[in-house]
């Protein structure tokens, strides 16, 4: 039987804007490392009904959503000062399917129902689709996602003394759909359509709406994943506490997120601070020309046409 690497080597390939080859797997562009992990997960991962799967394309608010959901599900286990989020990046509290759980579903803390993936809906392991586990998906204005993604890779390359590409080059590839787990719009649409078909299984969130009223969305998420706030908790401000603990200001100023590293000792080691840049809506205005914005908006309109979704 062909190895995963052999299968990947036969897939359509392009140069990504950060230098490596990227491959088209099940309709989405991705690096060898993550495709291999996803293939393993598709083969090995067995979901439990109690699982809560955080799904997202890259740079759409994953770090934040992981923190919020982790804080929600652990609120009765830890008190205000002992929550692991004070000493750990949220990516170290919520395992990533295609890396941490690729080999075995049991490689998990049995007390933690959360896991995450950047895989598109069509590539999720069958057991996630078939089991009664919950999925929470977050998406974001593609203009802000692109700008965030560009800065992320520019900083990553700079940390390895490599020259980042021009923003124009990244923009062009993004428009063509060639970005990590892109085409971005197809990723969003996959989960959007599935959430319309199965609203009890998939909660579809937008970063901008969550920024606008985080308290409301924390309550919604908690209800959806089966960890609703009691009347007493609502009265004593438990929701606001979680919102504050997971705010950009709070998390980005924690020592672990200023100086720590994620996945130290692996080929994909990253400084924690790279997951925190500005955390704002509309920062694209500082980087994209009006022409670029019009072009991205028109692709978004065209791609989402008839879906009932706006971004």
248 forms part of the interface with ligand A3P (CB under 6 A): yes
Torsion of CA 40, 221, 27, 266, to 10 degrees: -40
> Which listed residue (22, 32, 47, 56) binds ligand A3P by CB under 6 A?
56
Catalytic residue among 118, 151, 187, 262: 118
Interface with ligand A3P by CB under 6 A: which range of 70-78, 175-183, 258-266, 277-285? 277-285
Size of the site for ligand A3P (CB under 6 A): 21
Interface with ligand A3P by CB under 6 A: which range of 60-68, 74-82, 128-136, 195-203? 60-68
Restricted to residues 256-275, the positions that interact with ligand A3P (CB under 6 A) are: 275
Instruction: Please name the residues in contact with 246: beta carbons below 8 A apart, sequence gap of 6 or more.
Output: 64, 67, 68, 71, 85
181 forms part of the interface with ligand A3P (CB under 6 A): no
Strands (E), the chain: 13-15, 21-25, 28-30, 52-56, 114-117, 134-139, 202-206, 261-262, 270-271
45 forms part of the interface with ligand A3P (CB under 6 A): no
148 forms part of the interface with ligand A3P (CB under 6 A): yes
251 forms part of the interface with ligand A3P (CB under 6 A): yes
- Do the beta carbons of residue 255 and residue 248 sit within 8 Å? no
Restricted to residues 73-132, the positions that interact with ligand A3P (CB under 6 A) are: none
SS3 24: strand
> Which listed residue (51, 98, 100, 144) binds ligand A3P by CB under 6 A?
144
Nearer to ligand A3P, 35 or 210 (CB): 210
Other CB atoms within 10 A of residue 253 CB = 11
SS3 157: helix
206 forms part of the interface with ligand A3P (CB under 6 A): no
Of 51, 17, 6, 22, residue with least CA distance to 181: 22
| C-alpha span between 155 and 173 (Å, rounded) | 18
| C-alpha span between 292 and 109 (Å, rounded) | 45
> Which listed residue (17, 28, 121, 276) binds ligand A3P by CB under 6 A?
276
CB of 148 to ligand A3P, least distance (A): 3
Nearer to ligand A3P, 61 or 177 (CB): 61
CB of 232 to ligand A3P, least distance (A): 26
| C-alpha span between 182 and 29 (Å, rounded) | 5
Nearer to ligand A3P, 46 or 219 (CB): 219
> Which listed residue (42, 63, 88, 195) binds ligand A3P by CB under 6 A?
63
64 forms part of the interface with ligand A3P (CB under 6 A): yes
| C-alpha span between 192 and 251 (Å, rounded) | 29
Interface with ligand A3P by CB under 6 A: which range of 40-48, 62-70, 160-168, 173-181? 62-70
- Do the beta carbons of residue 37 and residue 102 sit within 8 Å? yes
Annotated active-site residue 118? The verdict is yes
| C-alpha span between 133 and 225 (Å, rounded) | 9
Of 134, 114, 124, 115, residue with least CA distance to 201: 134
Q: Which residues are catalytic?
A: 118
Binding site for ligand A3P (CB under 6 A): 56, 58-64, 144, 148, 151, 246-248, 251, 275-279, 283
């Amino acid at each position: 039987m062909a190895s995963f690497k052999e299968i990947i080597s036969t897939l359509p390939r392009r140069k990504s804007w950060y230098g490596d080859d990227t491959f088209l797997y099940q309709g989405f562009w991705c690096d060898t490392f993550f495709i291999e992990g996803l293939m393993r997960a598709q083969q090995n991962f067995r979901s439990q009904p109690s699982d809560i799967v955080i799904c997202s394309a890259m740079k759409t608010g994953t770090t934040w959503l992981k923190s919020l959901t982790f804080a929600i599900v652990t609120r009765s286990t830890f008190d205000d000062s002992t929550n692991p989020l004070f000493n750990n990046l949220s990516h170290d509290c919520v395992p990533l399917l295609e890396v941490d759980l690729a080999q075995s579903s049991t490689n998990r803390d049995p007390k933690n129902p959360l896991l995450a993936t950047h895989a598109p809906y069509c590539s999720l392991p069958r057991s996630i689709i078939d089991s009664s586990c919950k999925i929470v998906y977050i998406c974001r204005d593609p203009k802000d996602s692109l700008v965030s993604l560009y800065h992320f890779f520019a900083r990553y390359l700079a940390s390895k003394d490599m020259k980042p590409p021009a923003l124009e080059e990244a923009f062009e590839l993004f428009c063509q759909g060639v970005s990590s787990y892109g085409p971005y719009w197809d990723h969003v649409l996959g989960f959007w359509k599935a959430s319309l078909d199965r609203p009890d299984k998939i909660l579809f969130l937008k970063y901008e709406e969550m920024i606008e009223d985080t308290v409301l969305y924390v309550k919604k998420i908690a209800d959806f994943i089966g960890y609703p706030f009691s009347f007493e908790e609502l009265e004593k401000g438990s929701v606001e506490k979680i919102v504050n603990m997971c705010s950009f200001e709070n998390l980005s100023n924690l020592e672990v997120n200023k100086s720590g590293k994620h996945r130290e000792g692996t080929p994909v080691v990253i400084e924690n601070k790279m997951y925190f840049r500005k955390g704002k809506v509309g920062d694209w205005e500082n980087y994209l020309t009006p022409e670029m914005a019009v072009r991205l908006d028109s692709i978004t309109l065209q791609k989402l046409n008839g879906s009932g979704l706006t971004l």
